[in-house]
């Protein structure tokens, strides 16, 4: 009795606690709507604004965070469901043991209300205790999640939790109580013969055993998917800590964000002068190897995205350039020397120079806008309303002068499929908020004071903030992904623990139901090791089926993650093998212990057991 109540209460507390905390936190992130922030620079000299195809960097990041929250919500819901399945299985098993007592009360004429109270009193205590304990643990964990979220600028992280109470508390408690009331069906359906002939030592029926096996297989398969998903995300995030695979070299680079004074907001020429003076002063400092200015989101490759129309020389007729293709690409501005300062390799052509009508495209943008031809020397028009009339020679068009590698650091909104990007001249489109990158010959933070003084001398009234090395900036950018990976690892550990408890409960209950059968086998000459081998073999067959289904679920999980985050690999044999071995060991241990206990029982005692 005590073990049953502790088991049910603990399982429900774990599931409800995880649900209240993680479902509440994820729900707050999904409910939040990002504010639309327009870029602080004009793309076209004639005043054309951004089109409806625009997605700002804030929107892109928010979309990535929402993807993380969806993943967290779904994984947590799976863990809550696993806990509920285990608790329901324990309550159903307890109900099967109560059927003789309920049937006897019906035979003796007890009213239905008294029978309901008898059954409910046995289950209400552990269920309600688990709910109260789970809510307390959940709210404490929710406060911890809010405190550890690595992006303090996200105001939504301070709220949430209320809407998660219904799926995380009410549903598990309701289902658990409903399962606990299963024996009451005898009183209504008058199945007295089956109730009186069934006990906790009776062999499980065909459908009862089948349901338990299916639930156990589902729990183990889900646990394997959780473990592989968490491991895949962790390996992907750890592999990008040093900037590997980002498309540029983040080492020895000092970065800062500079906001120009308000009087330059309407004067593009003044902004361009400020940028030139800043670059000249910073490049003249001792210890500076290279320096560049760019729009604030150029470093991370998540700047504003819009629709760009490309043109090709063979389609030029009668002074009209006929559009070739349109595509959604990120549009960033950068100064001359940007790619050298950032360590972005130039694959073809050259980098941006002093020419204002030049453009550099990334490898993916070149394939998108100029398929089958060399993009260098081609033309593009960075706005959606390009047509035969607007494509006349009077409308400025940008000539592609070079191709660079794609920039794709790990972070929210940056998936495995890189985003095509074009770079325009920051001297033609000077932004109000710029990012300054300085590559140093040594420790970049030693240049921080000198660089800031040079910026203030070139731009009186400039606001300098967010001074950090590029490696620190990349770490902050990837922090939400790593935080989510850690949460997935915790949920995976909880899932494995629940799966182990579920398998142990199924095997132990099955052994308890077969105590008399085991006693007969041993009385007829079966040895203890044969009994143990028979019980463990049944459990390992369950584990084998679970591993096959779990591998398929794990590959699907890894493929889904690959679509969201750069550096994620679908096929990781070492990780899959490690998870499979771990779950196999768990299945063996969970089945071996009750099998040894059953084989050690005296055969005569087992035969006389009820």
Angle at the Cα of 531 from the Cα atoms of 529 and 537, rounded to 5 degrees: 95
Between CA 411 and CA 21 the distance in angstroms is 23
Please state which of the ranges 2-16, 26-40, 469-483, 566-580 shows the lowest mean pLDDT: 26-40
Supply the pLDDT for residue 84.
82
Q: Per-residue pLDDT tens for 228-274?
A: 777 776 666 555 444 445 667 888 889 998 989 988 887 888 988 99
Does residue 197 surpass a pLDDT of 70?
no
Share of the chain above pLDDT 70, in %: 68
Asked if 444 and 254 count as a contact pair (C-beta separation under 8 A), the reply is yes
DSSP string, 570-582: S--HHHHHHHHHH
Between CA 523 and CA 608 the distance in angstroms is 12
Supply the pLDDT for residue 361.
92
Find all residues with CB under 8 Å of 441, minimum gap 6, and list them: 252, 287, 288, 289
Q: Per-residue pLDDT tens for 440-470?
A: 988 899 999 999 999 999 999 999 988 988 8
Interval 597-603 mean pLDDT: 69
Supply the pLDDT for residue 224.
78
Q: Per-residue pLDDT tens for 77-90?
A: 878 887 887 787 77
Question: What DSSP element (H or E) covers 359?
Answer: strand 358-362
Q: How far is CA 238 from CA 301, 475, 565, in A?
A: 20, 10, 13
Q: Greater confidence, 555 or 305?
A: 555
Pairing of strands 421-425, 320-334: parallel
Interval 576-590 mean pLDDT: 81
Where does residue 47 rank: exposed (0-12), middle (13-18), buried (19+ CB within 10 A)? Answer: exposed
DSSP, res 243: -
Supply the pLDDT for residue 569.
62
Between CA 588 and CA 531 the distance in angstroms is 15
Supply the pLDDT for residue 254.
92
Between CA 326 and CA 391 the distance in angstroms is 13
Between CA 512 and CA 528 the distance in angstroms is 16
Sign of the dihedral defined by the CA atoms of residues 169, 171, 172, 176, in that order: positive
Supply the pLDDT for residue 455.
95
Neighbour count for residue 181 (Cβ, 10 Å): 16
Position of tokens 């922030």?
37
Does residue 52 surpass a pLDDT of 60?
no
Supply the pLDDT for residue 460.
92
Q: What are phi and psi of 310, to 5 degrees?
A: -105, 155
Q: Per-residue pLDDT tens for 306-351?
A: 677 776 665 554 445 556 667 778 788 899 888 888 888 899 999 9
Question: Which range is most confident: 140-144, 233-237, 407-411, 509-513?
Answer: 140-144
Q: Greater confidence, 199 or 408?
A: 408
Supply the pLDDT for residue 515.
66
Between CA 575 and CA 595 the distance in angstroms is 30
Supply the pLDDT for residue 187.
53
Asked if 476 and 466 count as a contact pair (C-beta separation under 8 A), the reply is no
Supply the pLDDT for residue 183.
65
Supply the pLDDT for residue 240.
46
Q: How far is CA 487 from CA 75, 84, 158, 563, in A?
A: 10, 20, 18, 19
Find all residues with CB under 8 Å of 564, minimum gap 6, and list them: 64, 67, 71, 415, 416
Q: Greater confidence, 607 or 156?
A: 156
Question: Which range is most confident: 201-205, 382-386, 525-529?
Answer: 525-529
Mean pLDDT of all residues belonging to the chain: 75
Asked if 80 and 19 count as a contact pair (C-beta separation under 8 A), the reply is yes
Find all residues with CB under 8 Å of 7, minimum gap 6, and list them: 90, 126, 501, 505
Q: Greater confidence, 295 or 322?
A: 295
Question: Which range is most confident: 26-35, 483-492, 556-565?
Answer: 483-492
Find all residues with CB under 8 Å of 14, minimum gap 6, and list them: 83, 134, 494, 497, 498
Three-state DSSP string of 195-241: HHCCCCCCCCCHHHHHHHHHHHHHHHHHHHHHHHHHHHHHHHHHHCC
Neighbour count for residue 525 (Cβ, 10 Å): 7
Between CA 168 and CA 233 the distance in angstroms is 26
Supply the pLDDT for residue 243.
42
Neighbour count for residue 590 (Cβ, 10 Å): 24
DSSP string, 479-507: HHHHHHHHHHHHHHHHHHHHHHHHHHHHH
Q: Greater confidence, 319 or 372?
A: 372
Does residue 360 surpass a pLDDT of 90?
yes
Q: Per-residue pLDDT tens for 487-521?
A: 877 887 787 777 777 767 766 666 666 666 677 77
Between CA 93 and CA 513 the distance in angstroms is 10
Supply the pLDDT for residue 283.
92
Count how many residues are written for the chain.
Answer: 610
Q: Per-residue pLDDT tens for 93-104?
A: 776 666 666 666
Q: What are phi and psi of 60, to 5 degrees?
A: -65, -45
Closest C-alpha to 498, from 172, 94, 96, 141: 172
Between CA 355 and CA 353 the distance in angstroms is 6
Neighbour count for residue 190 (Cβ, 10 Å): 11
Supply the pLDDT for residue 200.
47
Supply the pLDDT for residue 279.
92
Q: Greater confidence, 162 or 91?
A: 91
Q: Per-residue pLDDT tens for 207-225?
A: 556 766 777 777 777 777 7
């Amino acid at each position: 009795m005590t073990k049953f109540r502790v088991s049910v209460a603990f399982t429900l507390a774990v599931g409800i606690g995880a649900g209240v905390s993680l479902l509440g936190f994820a729900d707050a992130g999904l409910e939040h709507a990002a504010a639309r922030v327009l870029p602080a620079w004009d793309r076209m000299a004639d005043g054309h604004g951004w089109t409806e195809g625009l997605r700002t960097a804030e929107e892109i990041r928010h979309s990535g965070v929402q993807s993380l929250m969806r993943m967290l919500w779904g994984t947590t819901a799976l863990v809550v469901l696993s806990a509920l399945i285990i608790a329901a299985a324990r309550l159903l098993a307890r109900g099967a043991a109560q059927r003789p007592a309920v049937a006897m009360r019906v035979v003796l004429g007890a009213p239905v209300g008294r029978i309901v109270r008898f059954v409910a009193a046995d289950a209400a205590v552990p269920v309600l205790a688990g709910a109260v304990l789970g809510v307390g643990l959940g709210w404490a964990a929710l406060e911890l999640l809010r405190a550890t979220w690595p992006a303090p600028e996200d105001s939504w992280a301070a709220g949430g939790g209320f809407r998660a109470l219904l799926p995380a508390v009410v549903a598990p408690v309701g289902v658990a109580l409903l399962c606990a009331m299963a024996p009451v069906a005898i009183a209504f359906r008058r199945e007295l013969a089956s109730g009186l002939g069934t006990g906790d030592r009776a062999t499980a029926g065909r459908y009862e055993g089948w349901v338990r096996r299916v639930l156990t297989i589902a729990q183990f398969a889900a646990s394997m998917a959780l473990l592989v998903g968490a491991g895949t995300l962790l390996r992907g995030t750890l592999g990008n800590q040093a900037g590997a695979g980002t498309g540029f070299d983040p080492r020895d680079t000092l970065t800062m964000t500079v906001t120009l004074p308000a009087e330059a907001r309407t004067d593009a020429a003044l902004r361009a002068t400020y940028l030139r003076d800043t670059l000249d002063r910073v490049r003249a400092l001792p210890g500076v190897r290279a320096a560049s200015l760019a729009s604030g989101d150029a470093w991370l490759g998540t700047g504003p995205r819009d629709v760009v129309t490309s043109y090709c020389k063979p389609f030029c007729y009668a002074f009209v350039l006929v559009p070739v293709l349109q595509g959604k690409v990120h549009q960033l501005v950068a100064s001359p020397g940007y790619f050298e300062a950032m360590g972005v390799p130039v694959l073809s052509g050259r980098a941006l120079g002093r020419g204002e009508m030049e453009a550099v495209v990334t490898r993916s943008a070149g394939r998108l806008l100029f398929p089958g031809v060399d993009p260098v020397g081609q033309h593009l028009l960075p706005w959606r309303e390009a047509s035969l009339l607007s494509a006349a020679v009077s409308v400025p068009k940008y000539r592609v002068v070079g191709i660079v590698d794609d920039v794709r650091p790990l972070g929210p909104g940056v998936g495995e499929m890189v985003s095509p990007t074009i770079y325009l001249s920051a001297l033609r489109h000077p932004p109000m908020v710029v990012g300054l990158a300085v590559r140093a010959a040594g420790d970049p933070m030693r240049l921080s004071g000198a660089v800031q003084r040079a910026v203030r001398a070139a731009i009186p009234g400039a606001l300098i903030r967010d001074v950090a090395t590029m490696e620190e900036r990349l770490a902050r950018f990837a922090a939400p992904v790593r935080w989510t990976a850690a949460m997935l690892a915790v949920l995976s550990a909880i899932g494995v623990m629940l799966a182990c408890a579920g398998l142990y409960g199924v095997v132990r209950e099955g052994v308890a139901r077969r105590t008399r059968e085991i006693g007969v086998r041993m009385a007829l000459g079966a040895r203890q090791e044969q009994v143990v081998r028979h019980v463990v073999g049944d459990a390992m067959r369950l584990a084998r089926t679970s591993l096959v289904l779990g591998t398929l679920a794990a590959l699907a999980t890894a493929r889904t993650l690959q679509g969201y985050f750069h550096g994620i690999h679908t096929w990781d044999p070492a990780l899959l093998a490690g998870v499979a071995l771990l779950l196999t060991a768990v299945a063996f241990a969970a089945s071996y212990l009750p099998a040894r206990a059953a084989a050690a029982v005296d055969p005569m005692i087992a035969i006389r057991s009820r």
